[in-house]
Amino acid sequence: MNGEYRILQDKLDKIGAFRFTIRGWSITLVVASIFGAATAKLPTYYGLLGLIFILLTFFLMELAQKRHGHTFSRRLAKLERRIWGLLRTASSDSEVFEGGMIPRIAHEIEDERKARWKLMNWLDSHGYWFFYGVQAVLIVVVVLLLERTTEFSMPDKDTTVNFVTNGETRPTAERDIPASQKTKKTQKTH
Amino acid sequence: MSAPKKLTKQSLIVAIAELRSFVEEFDIDDAEDVQLRTDALISALIDAGLLSGKKNVRKVRLNVAIEGLTIKVPGREKLVVKAEMFCDLTNSYGGEPPQSDMEDAKSELEEIAEVLLPVLEKKLQNL
């Protein structure tokens, strides 16, 4: 029983570490992808929306870990009661075991949870919704902003953008020079 | 958080009645009900102004309530230990407590009431 208690504690530690790690991956992936896409000047940024599916995968992984954590916590509480019961039976005349439950880690955490405001508990247990939700919204907003920026900065194929050099207005690209003028220029050079 | 209330005759009668009925109607098959009754008893003690200082009602367990009683309680330390034991015996987190634990809890409560009831009744007479 003591062995199982320790295994469960170890499992809970690992679950905490795992959740922290996948959150780190998620943030790194989203931020790196957004910066990468913004600097690469892609023809379209809608591909970034694919990150939402990866986020969803991370979310589901965290949800599973949370579920396991909940199950393990309840099992820990059961074990605490059994261990305490055995200790009381084994040494009923000892005052050491008359003050309350020993060990009492899971029960202590539960007592603390009960003592807090319901809203705090809700935020605590649903924090990952907020975490992944904000990232998903961020991706959508960034995609829309980048697409909008691209629309404004890319000139229309038929629009001629001119610039002025020595008081003479010239088109920016050769493709924009009318065919008649091109011919004239060619003639002059010969 | 709420400020300590003023001790009144009526609220003290309610607290005594709450403790007495809790002992009499203790149901060893219903841990949830016992926990509710414990919370009701703590609330009655707070309403009667018997707890010292500002207390966050959510954080007060029975042992904390007995420790903080403003009236003189003989053998308070032993009662606090008993109350802590009582709370853990009736705690249903992780599953319903076994019947033997509930029976132990009942006897702990009876011992607590044995000390507390005369103290509260004496206080009522002096009001």
Q: What is the ipTM of this complex?
A: 0.76
Please count the CA atoms within 13 angstroms of the CA of A132 that sit on its side-chain side.
22
Average pLDDT score, chain A:
82
- Chain A: residue nearest B91 by CA? A107
- Report the distance separating Cα A14 and Cα A8, nearest Å: 10
* Minimum-distance CB partner of A100 among B56, B58, B85: B85
Burial B68-91 (b: 16+ CB within 10 A, else e): bbebebeeeeebbbbbbbbbbbbb
Please check the confidence at residue A177 and state whether its pLDDT lies above 90: no
Q: pLDDT per residue over B10-58, tens digit each?
A: 899 999 999 999 999 999 999 999 999 999 999 999 888 888 766 667 7
**Residue A185 pLDDT greater than 50, yes or no:** no
Res A104: pLDDT: 86
Residue B44: which domain range? 9-126
Q: Report how far residue B74's alpha carbon sits from residue B30's, in angstroms, rounded to the nearest whole number.
A: 31
Instruction: Compute the Cα dihedral for B91, B96, B100, B102 and give only its sign.
Output: positive
A124 shares a domain with A61 = yes
Cβ contact, residue pair B84, A100, below 8 Å: yes
pLDDT digits (tens, 9 = 90+) for A81-109: 888 888 888 776 555 556 678 888 888 88
pTM of model > 0.80: no
CB contact (8 A) between residue A84 and residue B59: no
Q: Is residue B1 part of a domain?
A: no
pLDDT of residue A15: 95
Do A149 and A163 belong to one domain?
Answer: no
The predicted structure's pLDDT at residue A189: 45
Please provide the size of chain B in residues: 127
Query: Does residue B111 sit at the A interface (CB-CB below 8 Å)?
Result: no
One-character DSSP codes across B12-46: HHHHHHHHHHHHHT--TT-HHHHHHHHHHHHHHHH
Number of domains in chain A: 2
Most B-contacting residue of A98, A104, A109 (CB-CB within 10 A), to test interface: A98
Cβ pair A30, A55 in contact under 8 A: yes
One domain for residues A149 and A169: no
Chain-chain contact of A99 with B81 (C-beta, under 8 angstroms): yes
Domain that holds residue A178: 157-190
Structure tokens at A156: 């229309």
Question: Is A145 in the same domain as A180?
Answer: no
Tally of domains in chain B: 1
Q: Does any domain span residue B99?
A: yes
Q: Is pLDDT above 80 for A38?
A: yes
Same domain, A149 and A161: no
**Residue B2 is assigned to a structural domain of this protein:** no
Confidence of residue A124 (pLDDT cuts 50, 70, 90): confident
Q: Same domain, yes or no, for A149 and A162?
A: no
Answer yes or no: is B90 within a domain. yes
The distance from CA A102 to its chain's CA centroid, rounded to whole angstroms, is 39
Say whether both A126 and A185 belong to one domain. no
Q: For chain B, state the CA radius of gyration.
A: 14
In chain B, pLDDT over 90 holds for what percent of residues? 61
Site from B35, B57, B88, B108 to mutate, A interface, most A CB atoms within 10 angstroms = B88
Asked if B87's CB is within 8 angstroms of A107's CB, the reply is no
- Domain membership flag for residue B3: no
Same domain for A105 and A84, yes or no, is: yes
Q: Say whether both A33 and A70 belong to one domain.
A: yes
> What would the mean pLDDT of B96-120 be, rounded to a whole number?
93
Query: B59 to chain A: which residues are within 8 Å by CB?
Result: 115
